[in-house]
């Protein structure tokens, strides 16, 4: 079974500061991992995905994440926060089956950006 | 390109009334389809998924049902709504070739009064 733990339900940063959102996973098989962003009253948008190629994954809006197998982590970072980054972020791990998969999501981290 | 639609965007229904939420996907064929519910402070809960027409799998026992009458149409229903059915309902699709990232619709906000 897969599981995801996101450390910190809320993270506050100042505009221009480093963003670090933490995600640890548990998986019995090599995982596919994802980060999604959700703005208020909208659906989830895929930020980036890890699919067992490069361990450092670059996504949209300047975000990137690094897969560390030894630490079972997939933390999301951005060098400089922008006000428009304020949103809720979800880490997810995929349970692969033949022809389909289900995603197990973390509980989400709300990113607050102050001027 | 692929797009996913959900309607209605918002819905206010009394307890005991029926429910029908619709999700359609364009620009792809034979997608896997998913219904999630997002309740305040409780993250995303997978309700149903479907790998083909008429094939529905339920993740949790509940007051809701799902149907897939056409390849790119996924419907969430209830015969009698409960207060606990309130939430934000999200439909998602993925292709069948991996790595199975899911693409989400805009969601339906359901308030049961």
The pLDDT of residue B62 is 79
Q: Hey, what are B27's tokens? A: 């620009």
Stretch among A45-49, A98-102, B59-63 having the lowest mean pLDDT: A98-102
For residue A54, the model assigns a pLDDT of: 86
**pLDDT confidence of A11, banded at 50, 70, 90?**
very high
- Cα separation, B9 vs A102, in Å, equals 25
CA B45/CA B89 separation, integer angstroms: 10
- A78 Cα distance to chain centroid: 11
Q: Which residue of A has its CA nearest to B90?
A: A43
Residue A18 DSSP symbol: P
- Residue in A42, A103, A108 closest to B102 by CB: A103
- pLDDT given at position B99: 65
- What percent of chain B is modeled with pLDDT above 90? 76
CB contact under 8 A, A42 and B107: yes
Which residues on chain B are in Cβ contact (under 8 Å) with A101?
A: 32, 94, 98, 100
Q: Is the pLDDT of residue B98 over 70?
A: no
Tokens describing residue B45: 């809960």
pLDDT digits (tens, 9 = 90+) for B27-67: 998 999 999 999 877 789 999 999 999 999 988 777 899 99
Estimate to the nearest angstrom the gap between the alpha carbon of A109 and the chain centroid: 9
Across the range A91-96, mean pLDDT stands at 84
Give the pLDDT score at A59: 95
């Amino acid at each position: 079974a897969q599981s995801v733990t996101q450390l910190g339900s809320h993270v506050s940063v100042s505009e221009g500061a480093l963003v670090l959102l933490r995600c640890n996973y548990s998986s019995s098989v090599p995982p596919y991992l994802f980060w999604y962003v959700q703005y208020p009253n909208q659906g989830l948008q895929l930020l980036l995905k890890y699919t067992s190629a490069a361990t450092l994954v670059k996504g949209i809006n300047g975000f990137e994440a690094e897969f560390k197998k030894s630490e079972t982590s997939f933390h999301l970072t951005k060098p400089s926060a922008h006000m428009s980054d304020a949103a809720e972020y979800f880490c997810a791990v995929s349970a692969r089956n033949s022809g389909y998969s289900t995603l197990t999501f973390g509980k989400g981290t709300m990113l607050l950006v102050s001027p | 390109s692929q797009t996913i639609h959900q309607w209605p965007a918002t819905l206010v229904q009394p307890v005991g009334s029926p429910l029908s939420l619709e999700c359609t996907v364009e620009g792809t064929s034979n997608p896997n389809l998913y219904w999630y519910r997002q309740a305040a402070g409780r993250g995303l809960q997978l309700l149903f998924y479907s790998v083909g027409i008429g094939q529905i799998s339920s993740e949790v026992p509940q007051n809701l049902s799902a149907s897939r009458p056409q390849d790119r149409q996924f419907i969430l229903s209830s015969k009698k709504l409960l207060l606990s059915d309130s939430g934000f309902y999200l439909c998602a699709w993925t292709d069948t070739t991996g790595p199975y990232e899911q693409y989400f619709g805009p969601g339906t906000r359901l308030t049961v009064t």
